[in-house]
């Protein structure tokens, strides 16, 4: 995973955002970190994330 991050606007249903925010708080993550985690897990499950080694944020993955 690259150390640079690209920002973009995300339009999301307010109730969905509230649920993600609560989930993030429950897991001691920021909302942005939770969204990144969920996307990364979905990409891995769909075999669409290239396996490039351990990441700084999640060293136990691989």
Q: What are the boundaries of each domain within the chain?
A: 14-45
Structural contact between residues 5 and 56, judged by C-beta atoms closer than 8 angstroms:
no
b/e 17-37 (16+ beta carbons within 10 angstroms → b) = eeebeeebeeeebeeeebbbb
Give the tens place of pLDDT for each residue, 42-59: 999 999 988 776 554 554
Give the predicted TM-score (pTM) of the model: 0.72
Give the tens place of pLDDT for each residue, 12-27: 999 999 999 999 999 9
């Amino acid at each position: 995973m690259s150390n640079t991050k690209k920002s973009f606007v995300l339009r999301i249903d307010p109730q969905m955002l509230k649920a993600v925010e609560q989930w993030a708080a429950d897991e001691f993550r920021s909302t942005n970190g939770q969204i990144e985690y969920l996307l990364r897990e979905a990409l891995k499950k769909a075999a669409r994330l290239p396996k490039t080694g351990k990441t700084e944020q999640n060293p136990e993955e691989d």
